[in-house]
A = this chain, B = another copy of it.
Amino acid sequence: MARILVINPNSSTAVTAQIDTAIGTLHRDGGPSIDVLGLADGPPGIQSQVHVESVVQPLLRCVREEPADAYVIACFSDPGLHAAREIARAPVFGIAECAVFSALQRGSRFGVIAILNNSIPRHLRYFGAMGVMSRFAGDRAIGMGVAELADEHKTFERMRKAAIDLRDIDGADVLIMGCAGMAQQRQRLADDVGLPVIEPTQAAVSAAIGALTLGW
């Protein structure tokens, strides 16, 4: 049976569990197993470029040691994505990359809900590298670290505010959740602001299943 390995490069078991829940509907009988793994030696949340860099080696080690038919890197900074592609004998998906390209099929300009303000320059460099800046509407932070996302009420209120500003001031017509730990709010947010909302781990695991099925 084929195996998809989803690597949450932070050490938060809450985030790992949430990713597991988020991709629940993607499991199916006879389909690939989808295992979500946290990195015990990762930081509790990836909130800076230093954090991003700190998880690359453990993550690559995981790719080297854990056999899989497809890998998903479940952090919105896609740490180590291109290096993982060099060493893996299987396709590797980054959740940010998948999320952006999914969003571009659902709207004309995408907006991103970031956790912290200092994530935004990091996102911009990455969207620039992807070559999609002409369809970028905006990136707004909710000002909460990964650990704080456990407060669902506060998280939702902040995300709602960011989403409305992205829609009404920046002109976004599709939204991307800029963190792997926001999945449980996806549907509610989409309903609330009336725009499609892309949850990045769902986008990436779904792409991984497709690639496996096609043998790409």
Query: Could you list which residues of chain A lie within 8 angstroms of chain B, going by C-beta atoms?
Result: 25-26, 28-31, 48-50, 52-54, 56-57, 60, 80, 82-83, 85-87, 93, 97-98, 101-102, 104-109, 120-122, 124-126, 128-135, 138, 171, 173, 196, 198, 202-203, 206-207, 209-211, 213-216
Contact A131 B134 (CB under 8 A): yes
Minimum CB–CB distance for A22 against chain B, Å: 9
Given that A30-B28, A109-B124, A124-B108 are known contacts, is A53 also in contact with B60, CB under 8 Å in the complex?
yes
Minimum CB–CB distance for A20 against chain B, Å: 15
Minimum CB–CB distance for A143 against chain B, Å: 14
New A-B pairs, 8, CB < 8 Å, besides A49-B85, A128-B135: A28-B28, A28-B30, A49-B86, A53-B56, A132-B132, A134-B134, A206-B211, A206-B214
A215 to B26, CA, bound (A): 10
Contact A97 B86 (CB under 8 A): no
Minimum CB–CB distance for A126 against chain B, Å: 7
Contact B134 A133 (CB under 8 A): yes
Minimum CB–CB distance for A203 against chain B, Å: 8
Which 4 A-B pairs have CB atoms at the shortest separation, nearest pair first? A206-B210, A101-B101, A108-B121, A129-B129
Contact B83 A49 (CB under 8 A): yes
Contact A105 B93 (CB under 8 A): yes
A102 contact set on B, CB distance < 8 A: 101
A26 contact set on B, CB distance < 8 A: 213-214
Contact of A125 among B49, B56, B108 (CB under 8 A): B108
Given that A60-B53, A131-B132, A214-B202 are known contacts, is A105 also in contact with B109, CB under 8 Å in the complex?
no
